Amino acid sequence: MPERCSEKKSLLGLTLPQLQEVVTGLGLPKFTATQIAGWLYQKRATSIDEMTNISLKGREALSKEYVTGRKKPVKASRSKDGTVKYLFEIEDNKFVESVYIPEEDRATLCISSQIGCQMNCEFCATGKQGFKGNLTSGQILNQIFETEKFDTLTNIVYMGMGEPLNNTDEVLRSIEIITANYGLAWSPKRITLSTVGILPGLERFLQESKCNLAISLHFPYSEVRAAYMPAEKAYPLSDVLSLVKQYDWSGQRRISFEYTMFDGVNDSISDADHLAKMIKGIPCRVNLIPYHSIPDVKVLPSKAETMTEFMRRLEKYNITTTIRRSRGQDIEAACGMLSKIKALL
C-alpha cells in the first residue's frame, strides 16, 4: 500500500543509532531499530507494512509518525548510449537529477547532494540555476534506491547537482549508511566524492570516511581559476593541495583531479607543465573532461587533438591521465549540464 507522506518523517537516511532513538521514543524494543534498518537498506522496503517481523502494534506506532521516505522519480530520460537521467521532485517545484551510466564492466550512478548549487562556476549549468537548498541523507539515498537498475550498480559518485561539502553532515550520513554493515555494506573504494575544495568539509571527509576523492581543479593558475570558479577566493587551491598532501594516497583510497578543458584558456602545454608541478608527489589520476557548451557562456571546448597533446604532456611526468568519454550528452546528462530547468522541458 502506498504511503502518505504529508507531515510524517522519513526513516530512509537515518543511521542505526538514530533508528534506535526512534524506536525508544515510541516505546518499542531497541532491537526493532536493527529490524527497520534491515528492511530499509537491505530488503529495500517501500512501506512500513512490509516490515513483517515487527509486531503489528509496532508497525502501527511507526506508521503514525513515519514513512519509509521512498519517492519515485517523476521522469526518466534515456540516451542512445544507455545513460539514464532521473528527475526527482524534492519539494513543490524543487527538483534534482541523478544519472545512471552503464559501461561494459561497471555501472555508475552520479547523485546530487543539493538543489542547485552555491558555487556558481562559470561553465556549469547547475550553478546558473542558483541554490535552493540541501538534500537530506534520505533524499540523497533515495536517488540510489529508486534507480531501476540498482542491482547492477558498481560505483556511486557524488558528482551531480550541488557541492557535497557544503552539505557535509547529510553527505557523510549517507556515506555511513552505504558503507555500514547495517546498511548497504559497500566498500568505500566504490564511492567517490567530487568537490571544488571546501576546506572545513574536506578535512572532515578525509578524516571520517575512506572514500575516494575527486578535486575539481580545472585551472592551474589561481587568478584564472578565481575568474571562473568563485570558490578559489575563499578556498585557494594551494591550501586545498596542502591539506591533501598530508594524507596517504598510496593505499586503496584514490585521488583524482578533474580538469575541464577550454579552448585557449587552460589547454596549453605550459598549462600542462604548471599543473604537473602543482600536483607533483601526489599519486593521482587526472581526468581531462570535454567542455559541454551551455547558453550565455562564451568559452569554447578544446579541440580533440589539443586534449590529446595535453594528456601526452602530463604522461611525460608519469601522471596517469585519461580523457573522459562524454555520456548522455543527447539528454543533457553530461558533466556540467545537469539542470532541472532543462529536465522539465
Active site (catalytic) residues: 97, 335
Phi, psi dihedrals of residue 200, rounded to the nearest 5°: -60, -45
CA-CA distance, 244 to 167, in Å (whole number)?
Answer: 20
- DSSP labels for 311-342? HHHHHHTT-EEEEPPP-SGGGT-STT---HHH
Are 112 and 333 a contacting pair, CB within 8 Å? Answer: no
C-alpha cell at 169: 553532515
By DSSP bridging, strand 212-216 and strand 191-195 are parallel
Count of CA atoms in the C-beta half-sphere (13 A) of 322: 9
CA-CA distance, 243 to 235, in Å (whole number)?
Answer: 11
CA-CA distance, 230 to 311, in Å (whole number)?
Answer: 26
**How many residues are there in the chain?**
345
CA-CA distance, 257 to 317, in Å (whole number)?
Answer: 15
Q: Which residue has the cell 580533440?
A: 304
- DSSP labels for 114-131? EEE-SS--TT-HHHHT-E
CB neighbour list of residue 52: distance below 8 Å, 6 or more residues apart: none
- Contacts of residues 235-243 at CB distance under 8 Å and 24 or more positions apart, as own/partner, are 235/196, 235/197, 235/198, 235/199, 237/197, 237/278, 239/197, 239/199, 240/197, 240/199, 240/202, 240/215, 241/278, 241/279, 241/282, 243/199, 243/202, 243/203, 243/206
